Amino acid sequence: MRILFLGGNSFSLELVEFLKSIEEEVVYTQDRIDLDIVKKINPDFIISYNYKHIIPKEVVRAYYPRIINLHISFLPYNRGAYPNVWSFLEDTPKGVTIHLVDEGVDTGDILVQKEVFIDEEKETLRSSYLKLHREIQELFKENWESIKTLKIKPIKQHGGGSKHYRKEYSIFEPFIREKGWDTPIRELKEKYRAWRCAIEELREPE
């Protein structure tokens, strides 16, 4: 099978190596694509994992349902950017999801997902992020054969869920400025709660 793999960092390259090890033909890119580029590659399947660009609607329409995304959240919670961080700040379920790509952002039907326990008293943002990537890679490896042969029945996302944007990084950046991604989750939540309380106090009428 010829696969167009839309990646973005070392995690995506790890899965590329896995696919090659099972003799899949993989074309890897981190660049923007359009339908003409994709047609020249002529893939049988498209995988997006840590890809930083919006996939054009024309590509989605041409390849659906042979186009999937790997997302480190328990959809429909925390679509979009920084899903790991927001799962702690908003106390939503943690997990990983492999879903079909549609014309929205992380809104496609779910193929497989797994809820993941994160010990908030011991983990940091970095360690929890790494754990989620290990989990989604294992989920992908376990299910790839069924995914590529379209044997898994997609399930629509239910409930409103949540969505976040890259620009919202400015909301929590002050709370991780000192330790960065090594900030303990417990410390992040304490600072965020204190900030929210201060905001609410300012809003209260005198």
pLDDT tens track, the chain, 206 positions? 999 999 998 999 999 999 999 999 999 999 999 999 999 999 999 999 999 999 999 999 999 999 999 999 999 999 999 999 999 999 999 999 999 999 999 999 999 999 999 999 999 999 999 999 999 999 999 999 999 999 999 999 988 899 999 999 999 999 999 999 999 999 999 999 999 998 887 776 65
- The size of the chain, in residues, is 206
Within a 10 A sphere around the Cβ of 69, how many other Cβ atoms? 23
What is the span of the domain harbouring residue 95? 2-203
Tell me how many domains the chain contains.
1
Q: Which residues face 184 on adjacent strands?
A: 124
Give Cα separations from 142 to 79, 131, 135, 205 (angstroms). Answer: 23, 17, 11, 56
Domain CATH code at residue 80 = 3.40.50.12230
Q: Where are the alpha helices (DSSP H) in the chain?
A: 10-21, 35-41, 57-63, 83-89, 125-148, 169-176, 185-203
Proportion of the chain in helix, strand, coil states, percent, rounded to 5: 45, 20, 35
pTM for the whole thing?
0.94
